[in-house]
Every structure is written in C-alpha cells, then in structure tokens.
Structure 1
Amino acid sequence: MRRWSVFALLFVAACSSNPPVPRAPSVLPALLPWPAQLEVGRGRYVLRDGARLEVAGGDEALAIARGFAARVARDRGLQLDVAAQAGAGDAAVVLALRPGDATVPEGEGYRLVVDRTHIELAAREPRGLFRGTTTLWQLLTPEMSPARAIEVSAVRIEDRPRFAWRGAMLDSARHFQPPEFVKRFIDELALAKLDTFHWHLTDDQGWRIEIKRHPRLTEVGAWRRPAGAAGTDAAGKPVRYGGYYTQDEIRDIVRYAAERYVTIVPEIDMPGHMQAAIAAYPELGASADEPVVSPDWGVHGYILNVDEPTIAFMQDVLDEVIELFPSTYIHVGGDEAVKDQWKASSRVQARMRELGLADENALQGWFIARMQQHLAARGRKLIGWDEILEGGVPADAAVMSWRGTKGGIEAANAGHPVVMAPSPDLYFDHLQSDAADEPSGRPDLRTLADIYAFDATAGMDAAAAAHVLGAQANLWSEHMRTTAMVEHAAFPRLAALAEALWSPREARDWSRFVARLVPQMERWRAHGVAAAQSAFEVRFTDTAQGIVLSNQAGLPMRYTLDGRAPDVHAAIDAGGALTPPAGATIRAATWLDGRRAGDITERRADAAHRRASSELAQCSGKLVLRIEDDAPTPGPRAFYDVDLFDPCWTWARAPLDDAARIRVAVGQLPYNFQLYKDVANIVPRPAPSTPAGELLVRDGCAGMLLASLPLDRARMNPAVSVLEAELPPRSGAHDLCFVFSGEGHDPLWAIDTVELLPPR
C-alpha cells in the first residue's frame, strides 16, 4: 500500500483587478487548470528515454497513448515505447481505461498517480484518459529543453471539470484563417482542457463553408473587396480577399478535433448577418437590393426573407452542416437581426398576417422554430444567441448569453440550457492592457485577472445554475486580421478561463495561477504561439513624485538606468517612484523564481515629450476603437486609438517650456463602419481651410489655435504620414487638443504619435 503525505491546500479566490504579489514558490506542480484534488507524495520518479508506456483499454486508449508519446517526443525529445500489452510489470507509465471502476472519476475525470516506482493514469472514459494525459504532459514539461530523463515529483490527482461546456469561439467569417491554423488553435484548446470550439463560419463579410447544393455561397460569398487602400493592388486592380473551407478540409478539422476530444459547434448565423449569402443569392433577401459582400464592420440591415423557398434553402444548408459536424448542438445565430427590411416589405408583412404573428420579433421566433424543428427531426439541438428569447424559443433550445449575463440568467430561470458568453466580460476583442504596443481591438480593457475572476453562475440561485452548461470566450475577428493577432488575444486569457471553468470555485487563487502560468508561457513560445505578454510587461506611470513601475501580474520587477538589460543582479523595484537622471532610459522586466517572466520594456528619456495614440485622451470617448491601418499591404501597420463619433484627442499638461515645434504622425482610414441609427451621433468636423483639410492643434479644445498642419501630402499617402509645424512660445504645462478639419467623416483621420521638439 502506497503512503502519501497530504499537502493541505488553502485557497483564496483572490481575483481582483489589483491582485496581490504572488507568494514564494511551493512544492506544488505548475498545473493549469488546477485539479479538483491533489496530494503531494514523498519522493520522485525519473522517467527515462526509451521507457515503456503500457496501455490497457483497446484501440482508442492506444491512440491516446501514442498521441501523448508523440507530444512528449516533440516537446522534450524523450521517446516512450508504447505497447498495448498489459501486465508485464516493468512499465514506467501505465494508461488504463477502466469503465467499471467506481473509484475513478467519471466522464472527463481521471486519476493520476506518480510514486517512486512508476506513473499510472486511469479513467472511465477515453475523454477522461485524454484529459489526464494533458496533466501528465504538463508534469513532464516544466521546461521545454531536450532531456534524456525527466524527474517527476510524487503526486496523486483525482480530477474532474466543474462545467461541461468550456469553450472558445473563433470568428472565421470576418477574416479567414487557414485550416492549419485552425487545427493548431484546437490543439492548444485541448491542452488547456477546453472541450468546445464554436466556429463562426458565416457573416456579412464572408461565407466560409462549402455548400455543394448552393455553390455560389462560396464562389461569391467567400470573397470581398476590402475598404480603403487595401482594396486596390499595386497595379490599380481590385483586391479579392477571403477564402473558405472545403468539405474535405472541414472533415479533416473535425477528425483532428475529435482525436483531442474537442467538439466543434458550427454556427450559420440567421436570419440577420446574411449579407454575404444575399450577395450570392439575392432572391434570399427581404429587399430588392443586390448587395456586395460587405467590407464594413458593424450592424448591417440585410436580412433573409421568410418565403418557403428561403426556408428550404437554409434547411439545405443545415443538412450539409449536419453531415459534416457530429455535434449535438448546431448554432443558428439569431443576433442583431435588424427588422427594418421586414417592416418595409409588403411580402413579409403579408406573410406575418398569414401566420397570425403579432410583430417582427414573433416572426423571428417563428423562423428560428422552423430551423429547430428541422434540426430536431435529424437528432440535433439548436443553440442561438440570447435574442432568440425575444420571439419565443422552443423549450429544449439552448441559449448563448452575449448581451451581458441578463439573457443567460433569464433563460436558466426558464429552464433552458445556457452557455455564458457575455460581452464585455468574455469578449476577447477587448484589449488586455493599455500599452501602446497592444494590437487593434476595443480599448475597454479585459485583463487576465478580469477573465480569471469570471463566474459562470454569478447572480443565479442553485436551481438556475443547474441549467448552465458552462461558458466560452468569443474571439470576434473584425480587428484581428492576422493569426498572430488571434493568438495574442486568446492566450494566456484562455488559460485563465479554463481554470475558471474546470477548477472548483474555492480552489481558484490568482497568485498561484500567475506562478503556474510562467512555465505555460514557455510552452506557448516553444509551440510558436504568439501569446500576449501584457500581464507580465512593466508599465511606466508619470506622477508628481517620479516614475512608478507596475505590472498586471503583481510580480517583482528589476530595472536598470544605464541601458543594460536587467538581469538577476539588477535593482529590485521597491514600490516607490523612481527619479532617474536626465537622459536616462529605464529598462525593466518582471521576475519569478530567479528568472525573467516577461519581455523587457523601456521608457525612453524623451518620453515626457512624446505621446503615442493610446496615451492621448479621447475628448468625449463615445465609441473608441483601436484600429489597424489599412496600409501598407505587406509589413507592419500602425494602430490608432480613435473615437468613431468624435475623432478628437487631448494631451493633458503637455510640457511646452522648451517646445518650439510639433511633429505628428497621422494616418487615414476608410470609414467602413455600419453604425445603423447611431450615425446621427457623429460629431461634424470643423470646416477646412484647404481642400484636403488640416490637423488643428489648440491650447484647450475651445482655446487658441497653436498650429494648423495641412493634410494635402498625407492625403496622397495611404500609410502613416509625418506632419510638422512651428509652435508659438508657451511656458508651463498646457492641455493640447487635436482635431481634423474636413468635409464629411470619410476618410477617418487618426493620430499615431505626437512629439514636442526643441528649436532647430
């Protein structure tokens, strides 16, 4: 009988946005997500190259073992000899399926035991065995360097998830991602013990799934001409942008996900968000228009009509979707279906009267019910965004709550299965820090700590909470043009969500999570995943006392003032304000367990006289986005913080004592935003003095004009242009205000950087 020393674990759910400093390292392994039960034993086991991995449980268990061994070989260079034969007694690792063993956790649960003699992993189901191998993989990868032998501390784990639906939604409609990326993304979901991949495949900007009965959906609907400079190539010809997944590619991705016990839930968004489909088949629309596939972001007005041929068309689509995806749930969207075209259509209004429906919301409810009946007849269940509640929804339909948590709570109280995916809480298009080098997205921050603090059943009683399947993060890709941007937005925040959904609520501990995340960041680097360093990067804040260093993770920081990279001998930040000598550049990084945890960041000596777009305040802040420039086509692009309603910026207390000139880097963007009725909120720009307009710099937004920088040359440059002008003498600190003059709101001018310069 093995002997174990039980390590008493006291967890504190320290999940605020201002988390405490992580504690000193303990003997606990760096596992993510944290297991339901863990006991640290005595001693250790050394797993050596060529060791025997014995499998019991049939072909599926053998496939899991081979996949695990292949990953260990790739990540550590250590080879395991996988054998299906059981009972030889000399196995270093045993993986066993034990469906009738009531002592082993059921479902996705597993039991993992490491002692001085060997490693043993048992589960009742294959998915539990796979989840257990991801835990064992983490025990074998505290670092990612090659090894001929790996020490594993003795441990006993009995684990199971808190929620069944632990997911991430990837929007492939706004920007198409290659199949190879989708598979890699699924791989990282599985390693994080996330089990659901919600795939947003259709929208106004693109139709990404091949439908053989209706080929124009991809022949036409999968391609668009981007707005602005990106829509024309170097030869002056229109750019065709997009792509789609063939059915063979989808089958391959579904197979790949199934091997990792990840369920793909496809989404065909209807009856709104259908402009790409209507561009391909105009007869589907509720108006007589023949639109193009949209290059714009926002809420569009095109909606399907409700004629029987259109119902049959969409049911054809669902039939082919069902053939490709074996998931229980099929997502039909149902969100942001603007009803103006239904209200204006005599044909739709006649159909409403024929059906005896009170209003357009009821008509959408009827439409969704038709799709639900079609799916139910084929053994599937419908899930949709929370708007489906407004028109009445079938009792067994699942509701995905996105407009905050209110819809999810109402649906759970009504007995519907619920998936929580609220905005802004789990919308990963929100930036995770206000650093200048964060890519495009929504500047209303959702930090790593915010995600870790999420509770899927907050505000519910026990009866309602029982209807919550789980939760997911949503990666809307309007502002994620590249796969690197997707990864930056997703990781490490998905690791925080994974722990919030897998681990017992009382086991969550922010400080320990941060410490366990550091080796996971190394794993992502080794896998080529562009995980964000935002939580680990040092930020610099100017105060009256000096420069204050901080970081989201709450880790210790080391810094230098002489230009050297900080190392273990560099000064440790004591928490006060620094007053570096004139001309000094501060270089700093976070540290944990004697090694650097984040990238080195620096504050240049001229920082007081320079502001990036993200460091300027918005005058009104009505609808602010961080937007990527649409040029140049190849290479890096600038990011601008800009208010779509009121493009106006201020630099509070700008030091003008020595400033004789001002240099501003600006860019122009296409105003490709469908604002619907909110277009009335756009603030008119000042009248221009020249045809191209000017950048106006004032001493306070209602104060004296200090400089007027013509945009004529910048208007000819689709990328960043640098403008410069003289400033009248001023002393002290002044609030500078920046606004562009011009006719209309297209193009949308934005500021990249502002610099105050001394006399020539």
Structure 2
Amino acid sequence: MTGCSSAPTVVADYEVVPAPLQITTAQQSPFVLKSGAVIGYPAGNAKMQKNAEFLAAFLKDQTGMVLKTAEGEGDITLQLGMQDENPEAYQLKVNSDGIVISAPSEAGVFYGIQTLRKSVSAAPDSQVEFPAVEIVDKPRFGYRGMMLDVGRHFFSMDELKTYIDMLALHNINRFHWHLSEDQGWRIEIKKYPKLTEIGSQRKETVIGRNSGKYDGKPYGGFYTQEQAKEIVQYAADRYITVIPEIDLPGHMQAALAAYPELGCTGGPYEVWTQWGVSDNVLCAGNDQTIQFIKDVLAEIIQIFPSEYIHVGGDECPKVKWETCPKCQARIKALGLKSDKQHTKEERLQSYVIHEAEEFLNANGRQMIGWDETLEGGLAPNATVMSWRGEGGGIEAAKQKHDVVMTPNTYLYFDYYQTKDVDGEPLAIGGYLPMERVYSYEPMPQSLTPEEQKYIIGVQANLWTEYIPDFKQVQYMVLPRMAALCESQWCAPEKKNYDEFLKRIIPLVNIYKQKGWNYATHIFDVMLELKPNTEKGTLDAVARTIDNAPIHYTLDGSEPGASSQLYNGVVQIDKPCILRTVAVRPEGNSRMTTDTIFFSKSSMKPITMLQPINKQYEFTGATVLVDGMTGNHNYKTGRWIAFYKNDMEAVIDLKEPTEISSLVLHTCVEKGDWVFDARAIKVFVSDDNKTFKEVASETYPAMKETDPNKIYTHELKFTPVKARYVKVFAQPEHSIPSWHGGKGNPGFLFVDELILN
C-alpha cells in the first residue's frame, strides 16, 4: 500500500553533519519516498538486514513513514561492492527510480544511512522528496571516540544505550567506557567479588567542589559481566567498538577499600567520597598487585572483544611509593635510578604498565593509556591518548607510537560551554564553547608527514564528578559532539564554522524529536567586542546562527522585541551594561550581559615588549585595554597569561594625560600553577624611549593557605602627565616548595590595565 499523497512533502537537504566529502547534484528528476516503500538488502546478510531495519526505524521516527524491509532490490537499496581501501567509505546515489547506498563494508552502508536520515531532519507525517545526487564520502580518521566516566556517577543500561545512539548519529565508532575510579568500581570481576560488593558503593558524596560538606546519602551501582556484554553487542550492532578502561596503578582507592592488602599501608581504606586524585594507589612492590592486575585484565578481555584495552596510567601520585619498603625494594631489585628525565618512582610506574602491556599483548590485545604512560619510558607497543594538551601525542608520534588526540583544552566536555556560568549547572571549570571545539585541528604541524601517520584518531571525554544524572550528560555533550565529529570525520578543507552552524540546525531538530536534552548556547547572540584604538570606542559586532533579529540595551535593562534592533556595529564610547538577546517566534534566547567601563587606558593602542603565553593568548594584548574585567574562570578569553617571562606592556595614551593610579587584577588558581604577581612597576615617558619609574610594589610568595580568587593590586603615585605608560608585572618564577609544581615557573593571568 502506498501512503496517502495528501501528506506534506519535505525536500531532503544533504548538507548534513559531518559534512560529506563530495556532493554532486544531478540534472534529473527527484525521487519521492512515501509510506509503504521497500528497503532492500542482500539476501542472507544479517548485518545488512539490521541496517535496513535501522533505516526504517529512523525514518519512521523522523517522518512517521512506515517502510518495509525485504531481501533484494527496493525503492531504497542497500548493497556491498563499492571499491575503496577505506572500509567505512560509502556512496549514496539518488535518481527518479530510487536510492542506492553502497559501500565496501556493512559499516560504510551504516554511515550512508546516517547521512540519508540526517538529510530528512525531523518532519512528522510527511513524504520526502530526495533531489537527484551522488554523494561519495569517507572518514578522515579510523578511530573516532567519545568517553564516558561511570566511576564518579553511575548510569543505567538504558542511558548507556541512548549514549551509544547519540554516538551513532554522529558517526562515532569507539565508545571508551571508564569503569574504575577512586570513587567507585563499576564492573563485576568474578575472581574478586568484593570489588563490586564493597568497591562499587561509597557511603556519601561531597557537595560541590570538595567543600568539606557531604550529602549523607549512600551511592553506588555496577554492571554485571552479562550487562557489559549486552552493551558491547548493542554498540557492535551500530558499528561501535567498546573500549573498557581499568585505570591503574592510580585511581584505585575503591579497589583498595575491597582488597586493602594491595595498598602500600594495608589500609583500612574506604571508597573515596570526594573528588580529585587519591594518594592511595596500588603497591607496586607487592607481587599480589601484579597478579591482581593480570587477573582483572583476564576477565576484562573475556567480556570485551576490542583490540584495545585501556589501562589508564594517569595521575598516579608516588608519595606512598617513596616511603613504602616493598616499593623501594622493588626499585632496588629492578635497578631503577632517577635521572634528569624521570624519578625512580616514575620508572616503577613504567614497570607496572609494562607488566600490564605484556599480559595484554600475550593475549592478542593492544594497550592504550593516557599520556602519563610516557613517563619513565613508554611500553613498547602502547597507543597513547594525549590529554594534557598535544605535547604527549607529539612526543609519542615521534617515537613511532599510535596516538589518539584528546587534548583537554579542546575536547573535555566537562568544561563550561559559556562565559556566563551563573546560569549553568556546576562544572569542573574551564571554558570550551562550540566554536573552540570546532576549531580543533588534530594533526600537529610540527610532525613530519611520516610522523603524522601515527595520529590515528580523535576523542572527546566526559568526566562526571559534577554530572549526577543523564540529562546533564546530554546537556554537556550535545551539540558539542557535532563539532567533534567534523574534526573526526571531515577532510580539513571541508570544515567551515559558519557553514557548520547552518548544517547543525536540522541535526538539533533530531535531538528535539528524540527528547534529548541539548544545550542551546549556539542559539544565543554571538558577540564580538573589539577595541577600536583609532576612534577610542569598543565596537560590538553581533550575529546569530539563523539570522534571527538581535535586540539590545545599553542601560542594563532586559532587552526584548521592543528594544533597539541591532543592524550593524554598535560603537560604545562610554561606560554601560550591554545586553543582547535573539528574538524568535518560539521564544527568546538567553541574554548576554557585558559590563564595560572606561579608564584613561581603555581602547588605547598597546604594545607588548614580552610575549603573551600562546596557549592563553586569546585575542591578544587588546584584552588589557578593552574596558572589561574577567570572572574567576581564567579560560574565558577575558584574561591573558604570561609564563616563563614577565609581563611588559606599553600603552600609548595618544596625548599627554594626567594619571595617578594603576589597578591590575590577577586571577589565582594555585592547583593549575596559576599564581599571583611578585612585583608590579609603572613607568612613564614622553617619547616612548626614555622611561621614568613612578611606582613599584613587591609581594611575598603565596602560601598554601592563600585563597584562589581574583586579587586586586592598586598602585597610587604623585599625579604625573605622560603620553606613554609602561606596566611591568613579574610572575612567580619559582613555585614554592609546598606545591606539587615546586621549582617550576607559575602562570600569571591579568585582565585589564586600569589607569586613572
């Protein structure tokens, strides 16, 4: 039976996420798909039958159309036989007779199906007109991953399956499942039943960011081996490989609570109730420890057929090993020595990782670990996940090891997605808006073409300390996952952020139709505030993803449809509170709010005499004269950093101007090696050549008890007329001995140089 032709017709749009490699439109009649049409697949191929059933289900969800599946050819035909060395490639051809998706493998057909379903977006109770086209597409990287941490917070089987569905929609083919933590052990190990009996339950959970207050509620959960196998199968049906992670030898306090004899002190231990990294780690000098690791991995490889097994290897404090007689005896027996590169304890960690790797290799598996596995010398066949920036990945590729790029500065989805964090659920910190995720180019230019071959993939991570439920998981990863998948799938020349913003709207319609809780920041006003040093104004340039009208106010009142309409650059020349909103029929976007003040240095030309730290350069020196201050998050672009050199800036006031004070703020986050200034000086000049010092202050080294906050430094001096003002600030050149980074330089973050 064909569907009633009175159903409205929607036209498919092949500009989807991720962008296909080649789209060639054909000068032919389109194909109209109606209810009752048949999806054909090769006889006797169970995977292709499943693919056909997936496509029918996707289209029914999105359009209400009921399609049949049958062996042989159909109105939509799924087939193998395309010639391409990339098994995940596909070709999608549409003409007036129908649609054909062909690929070298069933996985390739599945990605063709994703493109087809996304071209329809979500249009209930309609028939679909598919314009004639030929699409040829294939992924840039073979490893396209997304990680979920279930150690800090636990998620149900149905929630995990939804997460896998989310990955499939974004052409992601690896699900990295982080299963063990200081705060909870989540996978059944039959030889060690107490891992789940004791290790999966914590008595309570800290409130907020290690506030010292606790909620008093027991928390726990784990997956049986049968449940884990069910997840593996559910993922495999969608061409996704599950990579399990058992993090060792650190992040093991939950395991030690169950088996205290595996720790250096013998306990007692309890499953950790706070966040962070516990000093209690597996005792590397204990023979039982190595046996325990091998026994656990033996059961893990029975559950998970993946080539890779992740052994963590990150954030393993060595303090217990330094004083543990067994660990020191093991160091001596192995003849490990400290040198300029590594301490003997780091080399001991390397020994533990090597033991794990040898066991996995002997059982036909490959080890993957975080970039700390480089410390003390990398295990011979290991693959490295580079999370602390890209440095570890670059180093590993130069050593001819495979690398998955997952730098926290671009791909940690537990970071905030907006500068305005007051309206957001609590997150770990950081600032990672969609545009920054999208801007990530995984192939480091510093590698030779030969070395670049070792970069095998890209992954984003979601750590769940501050993510207690699945709605929030979705909010943190959607739609940033869309930006991720273009870095994973698309050829670099296909990437264009403005085009991507247009293509993401139909994808978001699928999120809506699925009832997924996505973040809406991309629908807010995108605002650029640039100092115009010629005119002495702050120029506000605004736009929206869909060209929705923007309304604004400058007096701090709430903007709406009756407020001033934005129709070009707004030049701000006096203090104000700028608020903007995008107005749409379905409701207004969130408001942006920026407080702008003017001092004698605002919007004046500025020159740096010493470099800004590249990682935290943002829009550069003008951040110091743009009339805006930063909040306690130093990654928003309102702060710039200095590292391994002093801050030295010259401001041109354009004419002799009387000044008598400087205010300078610093943002301090000691755990991230971000410290206060040690000295500040102010100099003046008439000719920008000869400078005279007019003020200076020095500050003591920070104590462990000094709070993390924004510090205000005000230097007052006898009024002086000058055209040029030089401001000098000295960072902490050597972090104090009480800190884990002792002896290293600290970062100095400054937001504005305020002269009055």
Q: Does 1:514 align with 2:540?
A: no
1:559 alignment counterpart: 551
Match of 1:319 in 2: 298
Question: Residue 78 of structure 2 contacts residue 101 of structure 2 at CA under 8 Å; is this kept in 1?
Answer: yes
8 Å CA contact 1:47–1:150 kept in 2: the answer is: yes
Equivalent residue, structure 2, for 1:743 = none
Letter in 1 for 2:704: N
Query: Mapping of 1:677-716 within 5 angstroms?
Result: 681-683=704-706
Deviations 1:343-402 (A, max 9, x none): 100111112212222211221111111111111121111011111112222322111111
Change (3 A) 1:680 1:64: farther
The amino acid across from 2:520 in the alignment is Q
1-structure distance, mates of 2:596, 2:142:
49
Q: Is the 8 A contact 1:183 1:256 kept in 2?
A: yes
Cα distance, 1:425 vs structure 2: 2.0
Distance 2:708 2:80 in 1: 68
Residue 401 of structure 1 corresponds to which residue in structure 2? Answer: 386
Residue 120 of structure 1: aligned partner? 100
Residues 601 and 403 of structure 1, relative CA distance in 2, 3 Å threshold: closer
Distance across 2 between alignment mates of 1:623 and 1:447: 9
The RMSD of aligned alpha carbons is: 3.8
The aligned counterpart of 2:334 is 355
Q: Are 2:152 and 1:159 equivalent residues in the alignment?
A: no
| Distance in 1 between residues matched to 2:578 and 2:335, nearest whole Å | 72
Question: Structure 1 CA distance, aligned partners of 2:194 and 2:408?
Answer: 33
What residue identity is the alignment partner of 1:353? Answer: K
Matched, 1:94 2:77: yes
Q: For the Cα contact (< 8 Å) 2:204–2:219, is it kept in 1?
A: yes
Q: Structure 1's 605 and 206: CA in aligned 2 closer, same or farther, altered over 3 A?
A: closer
Contact 1:111 1:121 in 2 (8 A): yes
2:486 partner amino acid: E
SS at match of 2:23: strand
- Amino acid aligned to 1:347: K
Look up the match of 1:205.
183
How far residue 27 of structure 1 moved from its aligned partner, in angstroms, is 10
CA drift at 1:616: 8.2
Map 1:104-183 to 2 at 5 A. Answer: 106-141=86-121, 144-183=122-161
Which amino acid letter does the alignment assign opposite residue 77 of structure 2? V
Instruction: Give the corresponding residue for 1:55.
Output: 41
Give 1:41's aligned residue.
Answer: 26
* Whole-angstrom CA distance in 1 between matches of 2:295 and 2:636: 39
Question: Contact (CA 8 Å) 1:585, 1:605: kept in 2 or not?
Answer: yes
Q: Output the CA distance in 1 between the equivalents of 2:207 and 2:387.
A: 33
* Distance in 1 between residues matched to 2:487 and 2:190, nearest whole Å: 41
Shift of 1:30: 2.8
| C-alpha separation in 2, matches of 1:465 and 1:585 | 46
8 Å CA contact 1:203–1:273 kept in 2: the answer is yes
What SS class does the counterpart of residue 100 from structure 2 fall into? Answer: strand
Distance 1:604 1:288, change over 3 A: closer
Residue correspondence of structure 1 range 207-356 to structure 2 within 5 A: 207-228=185-206, 238-306=216-284, 307-356=286-335
The answer as to whether partners of 1:197 and 1:265 remain within 8 angstroms in 2 is yes
Letter of the structure 2 residue corresponding to residue 116 of structure 1: S
> Paired residue for 1:457?
443
Extract unaligned runs of 5+ from structure 2.
1-10, 338-343, 598-627, 638-666, 677-700, 716-756
Deviation at 1:585, TM superposition (A): 12
Name the CA shift for 1:121/1:322 in 2 (closer, same or farther; >3 Å).
same
What residue number does 2:681 align with?
A: none
CA distance in 2, matches of 1:523, 1:29: 15
* SS class of match (2:132): strand
1:174 alignment partner, SS class: coil
Q: Which residue of 2 aligns with 1:710?
A: none
CA distance in 2 between counterparts of 1:560 and 1:363 reads 60
Which amino acid letter does the alignment assign opposite residue 78 of structure 2? L
Equivalent residue, structure 1, for 2:728:
none
Partner residue, 2:696: none
SS at match of 1:559: strand
1:461–1:605: structure 2 CA closer, same or farther, 3 Å change rule? closer
1:161-183 deviations in Å (ceiling 9; x for gaps) = 10011111111111112221111
Q: Distance in 2 between matches of 1:429 and 1:468?
A: 24
Structure 1 unaligned regions, length at least 5: 1-25, 609-614, 625-641, 650-677, 687-696, 704-760
CA contact (8 A) 2:313 2:372 kept: yes
For 1:112, the aligned partner's letter is L
Q: Which residue of 2 aligns with 1:664?
A: none
Q: How far apart, in 2, do the equivalents of 1:507 and 1:585 lie?
A: 36
Q: Select the structure with the greater relative contact order (CA < 8 A; seq sep ≥ 6).
A: 1
User: Contact 2:479–2:519 (CA<8 Å) still a contact in 1?
Assistant: yes
Q: CA deviation at 1:427?
A: 1.4
Aligned length: 597
The Cα of 1:577 is off from its aligned counterpart by: 5.8
In the alignment, the residues of structure 1 paired with residue 543 and residue 273 of structure 2 have an alpha-carbon distance, to the nearest angstrom, of 38
2:48·2:106 contact (CA, 8 Å) conserved in 1?
yes
Alpha-carbon shift at residue 195 of structure 1 (Å): 0.6
Q: Which whole-Å CA distance do the structure 2 matches of 1:480 and 1:348 have between them?
A: 36
Supply the distance in 2 between the matched residues of 1:414 and 1:539 (Cα, whole angstroms). 42
Supply the AA of the counterpart residue of 2:318: K
Matches within 5 A, 1:642-657: none
CA shift for structure 1 position 560: 7.8
**Residue matched to 2:748:** none
2:582 maps to 589
| Equivalent position amino acid for 1:467 in 2 | Y
Instruction: Point out the more displaced range, 419-428 or 162-171.
Output: 419-428
Q: Which residue of 2 aligns with 1:713?
A: none
Distance 1:483 1:167 in 2: 19
Structure 1 counterpart SS, 2:131 = strand
Amino acid corresponding to residue 94 of structure 1 in structure 2: T
Number of the residue aligned with 1:738: none
> Is contact 2:357–2:367 with CA below 8 Å preserved after alignment?
yes
Deviations 1:41-78 (A, max 9, x none): 23421100111111125221111111211121122211
TM-score, normalising length: structure 1: 0.71
Give the corresponding residue for 1:575: 569
Cα shift readout 1:65-102 (whole Å, capped 9, x = no counterpart) = 11211121122211111001x25xxx31111122xx42
Q: How far, CA to CA, are the matches of 1:264 and 1:151 in structure 2?
A: 37
Q: Which secondary structure state, in structure 2, belongs to the residue aligned with residue 163 of structure 1?
A: coil
Q: 1:546 Cα deviation (Å)?
A: 9.8
Q: Is the 8 A contact 2:309 2:365 kept in 1?
A: yes
Give the corresponding residue for 1:723.
none
What is the alpha-carbon distance in structure 2 between the residues aligned to residue 605 and residue 493 of structure 1?
24
Q: Deviations over 1:705-744 (max 9, x none)?
A: xxxxxxxxxxxxxxxxxxxxxxxxxxxxxxxxxxxxxxxx
Name the SS of the counterpart of 1:425 in structure 2: helix
